[in-house]
Structure 1
Amino acid sequence: MIKSSYAMNPSLLRLLIIAYISCNYLDPARELVNEILEWNFDVVSGNLMIVSFMKVKEVDAAKSIFTKMPSRDVVTWNSMIGGYVKNRLYNEALSVFKKMLISDKEPDPYTFASIMTACARLGDISNAKYVHNLMIERNIKLNYILSSALIDMYSKCGNIETAREIFSRVDRGNICVWNAMINGLATHGLASESVKVFSEIGTKGGVRPDSITFIALLTAFSHSGLVEEGKRHFYLMKEEPFSVQPQLAHYGVMVDILVRAGLLSEAYLMIKEMPMKPDVVIWRTFLSGCRIHKNSELGELAAAQISHLSSGDYVLMSNIYCSVNKWDSAEELRLAMKQKGVRKKRGRSWVEIGGIIHVFKAGDRSHPESSAIYKSLDVLIKLTKMKGFRHETGLVLMDISEEEKEENLDLHSEKLAIVYGILKTGVGDCIRVTKNLRTCPDCHSWIKVVSKVLNRVIVVRDRVRFHHFEGGFCTCADFW
């Protein structure tokens, strides 16, 4: 019936598919796509369907259309790359980008903006440099979007020096470029440099700070523990010449600044007196602070404000209870998680060796070289203990012996990734590791000692910020 009604009118069929998708009627949309894939359809129809399916996270449907398209233009490739990036499938975006390079279509500025975002999210410095070199070879003219993306990419890949260099050379006539630099410095914990760049906006940029500028600046203070500076700029932003009214995100960063410094009561008061309703992100930030400072009473208040607890919320509350030896309460939470089918998000760490990304999970033995990794880890644990390292066993959410807790901590994913990096790189080479969650205090303490014992620079990018370990110290000054 579909064929007989619409086969001679592809435009109508295209519009019908897009209408179904926009109304979230995905099953009939998929049925129509299965029909249309049997016929030839024009590039415009294919592009629109790819974009529409990517918007509703129907990645497989978009991929099917892309694969079957008889011809593709630059928009087709950009729609797939951009769609993968928006759906956080960054490796898939890189794969399509590399296929585009050997096609008859040349990447344009939009292509490069999307693929730089993928490199930034992956922390993939090799591909970041590769993409940047391609832009130079193809004489891609930098506009403020590409300049901002370049600065952001190098910052998130751990190369803040190159980000600084690019910032010094590009046109800074748009506030987005300044925001990218301030945010990059903030992520690396370089608060004083963030303030310096902020102070130059009016004199060297000829532009005015906006809402995003102050979020980046406040984040820099948060990562460096500069409470008074954070407060001062939070109130300063409302005054002339800025006249930027604080939004939910600004209050969120201020709460983060206060809870990191242990000012839980002040943070709670700020949340209660906000001119808008606090969102779940703010309550989770507060809950995280309660975990760090072992305050179960305020932690329970925060958890009560989160209507649908995620696995991370349960883990935070379990951490709080365990830190004050409330084992029964922690066990009740674990049972609640099990009954509700809530699964803890697993930590993953990865390291790039020779252009290949090696991913590790806690206790992972799936790697083909796991035997050598665990032997080396055992040697390194013993060596660091001889140099004064002591496990932070209070982090283990189980009422078990100290020895068992130490064994549990030894298997964390970042330790495995770092050991593999040590095995596969030369003496003096920098080791770069990325983790999808916040680095735990035990691993943080251990990496500091490893950097001193082996005389190696180790850069870890976690969910919160960058940590540069060298000579037994970290640039975060143990504040993250």
Structure 2
Amino acid sequence: METLARMTKTGGGEQFKRSLFRVLLESRRLDEARRLLDEMPTSDPRPWNLLLAATLRAGRLAQARTLFEEMPSRDLVSWNTMAAGCARGPRPEEAVALFEAMRLEPDARTFAAVLSGCARAGALAAGRRVHALVRAARAGPNPILAAALIDMYCKCGRPDLGAVAFESASAAERASASVWNALISGLAVHGGGRAALHLFERMRTERAAEPDRVTFLALLAGCSHAGLVEEGLHLLFAMKLEHGLEPGIQHYGAAVDLLARAGRLEEARRAAETLPVPPDAAVWRALLSACRNQARPDLAPAPGPARCSGDYLLLSGLHSQAGRWGCAAAAWQAMRAAGVRKKEPGLSWVELGGGPERFRAGLGWARRRSRPEARAVQRVLEALTTAAREMGFSAAPPAAAAELLEEEKEGNLMYHSERVAVAFAVLKTAPATEIRVRKNLRTCADCHSWLKAASKHLARAIIVRDRSRFHRFERGSCSCRDFW
């Protein structure tokens, strides 16, 4: 780089610098590209936009945000690029904040990016504000934007509003499979497998759009979460025979999951071993999770060295349930020997008026709160747990507690992150308000039972969006019908 820098100072010219800049971007030498850009005084935002996009592609979100703030000038491409990067990042709510600070007229790409951020963050109130602006600004059909609106409502826990957005889409927008896929996927993650199948039949009857591989993957997931085994298997065969689409590993993995969740473990194991494509980690994880849920350690596959820590924790929990303590310890030893790092801690978010509040499993959340507020949350947690016990809820016994290693156990079960988030929401909201919680891990069986009891005691709906689906707890029952 020193040689190149000397060449730029000895008459290489602006054209040479621009060429060098592109070479540095293509070779991902982003820090050198930034230094060169600083030597090219220009108010043109285009080279800065290229560097911003390359920085985001490299996963350097914090560096991209600093670059965005330091740009000598920003155009709509700059804002859209940064908003899209935030929407995909670990803090998608930043896309909403960026949108609200924007001083330019947004276009369809802006709206799509911020709606994606709202969807990932579960920010329903912000999403509805953006929708109002979309209605006011929308000039013509835009399937990407229509799909983003449907996806936002479904991922914010309102598939009913997603259906309204779907029906409001124009014929030109519904000519795109992505618009149908958005609602099919949304219904599927809410446990509406049959509703997703009905929508698929409508898609075929109206011949508005041709189903694609995403359509079938969403349908298979919906069948899996709803226990619709025969319907799901029929879809897998129809995908190729009727629609000419070759199933991939994700489709076959969904079929294995379908069988495993329904308790047909022997069939699921045989299917996994005879797939026409090599099974990936997700296939074996589906089997492992089903074996744990149905207490069948004899059918559990052993995780290989390339798998994540969650697989080892599932295996350890499975053996602990069966009292096979040596096997449980061996799973931990195998994880350490493979150099697999422990998984991310359990985190939950609850959206209140001032934005999302984040909570971590255990008592660490209390350190970020004032002492009176932390004590108040703890009192609410204790009161809810006492009420749940009076309704027949009992915490998992020590012998089964290893099943709960999906979540970091920094405290006891009472301090799993979604419980803390619910208690905080109870403290901060009116009695009839729905409580909406977003969680980064799968909800454990113990918390699932606790949330059912809490919803009955509070006479409130509690909507929990975990890693794979939505649960709506109301009057002591869950929308998943305890099948998840």
The answer as to 2:280 corresponding to 1:279 is: yes
Give the Cα–Cα distance (whole angstroms) in 2 for the partners of residues 441 and 192 of structure 1: 25
- Structure 1 letter corresponding to 2:26: S
Native 8 Å contact 1:221 1:230 kept in 2? yes
CA distance in 1, matches of 2:141, 2:392: 50
Q: Which amino acid aligns with 2:59?
A: K
1:243 maps to what in 2? 244
Q: Which runs of 5+ in 2 are unaligned?
A: none
Residues 284/19 of structure 1: CA separation in 2 closer, same or farther (3 Å cut): farther
Give the SS at the match of 2:68. helix
The answer as to 2:235 corresponding to 1:233 is: yes
Secondary structure class of the residue paired with 2:105 = coil
Equivalent residue of 1:209, what SS? coil
Comparing 407-416 and 215-224, the one that deviates more: 407-416
List gaps (5 residues or longer) in structure 1.
Answer: 400-404
* Counterpart pick for 1:413 among 417, 422, 447: 417
The CA distance in 1 between the partners of 2:145 and 2:191, in whole Å, is 24
Q: How many residues of Structure 1 are paired with residues of Structure 2 in the alignment?
A: 465
Please give the alpha-carbon distance, in whole angstroms, between the structure 2 residues aligned to 1:362 and 1:63: 29
Residue 131 of structure 1 is matched in structure 2 by: 130
Matched, 1:19 2:33: no
Residues 439-448 or 127-136, more deviating: 127-136
Q: SS at the partner of 1:238?
A: helix
Q: What is the deviation of 1:91?
A: 2.7
Distance apart, 1:330 and its partner CA: 2.2
In structure 1, what is the Cα distance between the partners aligned to 2:349 and 2:277? 39
Name the CA distance, whole Å, in 1 between partners of 2:83 and 2:476. 41
The answer to whether the aligner puts 1:65 opposite 2:67 as a matched pair is yes
Alignment of 1:84-123 (within 5 A): 84-100=86-102, 103=103, 105-123=104-122
Could you tell me the percent identity over the aligned residues? Answer: 38
8 A Cα contact 2:350 2:436, kept in partner: yes
Residue correspondence of structure 1 range 131-170 to structure 2 within 5 A: 131-170=130-169
Q: 2:83–2:114: 8 Å Cα contact kept in structure 1? A: yes
1:444 aligns with 2:448: yes
Q: Which amino acid aligns with 2:320?
A: C
CA RMSD of aligned residues (A): 2.3
* Superposed displacement of residue 61, structure 1: 3.9
- Give every structure 1 segment of 4 or more consecutive aligned residues whose post-TM-superposition deviation is greater than 6 Å: none
Once residues 465 and 14 of structure 1 are traced to their aligned partners in structure 2, the CA distance between those partners, rounded to angstroms, is 48
Q: Is the 8 A contact 1:286 1:302 kept in 2?
A: no
- The verdict on how the C-alpha distance between 1:331 and 1:181 changes in structure 2, with shifts beyond 3 A counting, is same
Residue in 2 that maps onto 1:396: 401
Instruction: Say which SS state the counterpart of residue 397 (structure 1) adopts.
Output: helix
Letter in 2 for 1:235: F
Measure how far apart 1:344 and its partner are.
3.1
Q: 1:379 aligns with which of 378, 383, 394?
A: 383
Q: Does the 8 Å contact 2:93/2:123 carry over to 1?
A: no
Partner residue of 2:316 out of 315, 318, 326: 318
SS in 2 for 1:106: coil
Q: Distance in 1 between matches of 2:424 and 2:63?
A: 38
Q: Which moved more, 1:167-176 or 1:332-341?
A: 332-341
Separation of aligned partners in 2, 1:129 and 1:337: 44
Aligned partner of residue 134 in structure 1, secondary structure:
helix
Aligned partner of 1:347 in structure 2 is 346
Matches of 1:156 and 1:48, distance apart in 2: 31
Structure 2 vs 1, CA of residues 16 and 95 (structure 1 numbering), >3 Å: closer, same or farther? farther
Aligned to 2:430: 426
Deviates more, 1:443-452 or 1:88-97: 88-97
Q: 1:200 is matched with which residue: 199, 202, 215?
A: 202
Aligned partners of 1:312 and 1:345 also within 8 Å:
no
Q: Deviations over 1:317-364 (max 9, x none)?
A: 111111111223323333454563622321111111113211111113
Provide the rounded CA distance (Å) in 2 between the counterparts of 1:398 and 1:117: 33
2:24–2:33 Cα contact (<8 Å) kept = no
Bigger mean CA offset, 388-397 vs 347-356: 388-397
Residue type of the alignment partner of 2:362: G
Alignment correspondent of 1:30:
31
Q: 1:225 to 1:288 in 2, by over 3 A?
A: same
- Distance change (3 Å), C-alpha of 1:17 and 1:297: farther
Q: For residue 38 of structure 2, what is the amino acid of its counterpart?
A: L
Deviates further, 359-368 or 86-95 = 86-95
The normalised TM-score by structure 2 is 0.90
Sort the Cα spacing of 1:367 and 1:65 in 2 relative to 1 into closer, same or farther, 3 A: closer
TM normalised by structure 1 equals 0.91
Residue 18 of structure 1, CA deviation: 4.1
Aligned partners of 1:21 and 1:56 also within 8 Å:
no
Checking the alignment, whether the CA contact within 8 Å between 1:437 and 1:462 is kept in structure 2 is: yes
Q: How far apart are 1:4 and its partner, in Å?
A: 4.7
**1:453 is matched with which residue: 457, 465, 472?**
457
**Cα–Cα, structure 1 residues 18 and 84, in superposed 2: closer, same or farther, change >3 Å?**
farther
Cα 1:18–1:286, aligned 2, differ >3 Å: closer, same or farther? farther
The residue type equivalent to 2:443 in the other structure is T
Amino acid at match of 2:137: R
Other-structure match for 1:329: 327
Q: What is the distance in 2 between the residues matched to 1:268 and 1:377?
A: 41
TM-aligned CA distance change 1:5 to 1:97, over 3 Å: farther
2:432 aligned counterpart, secondary structure: coil
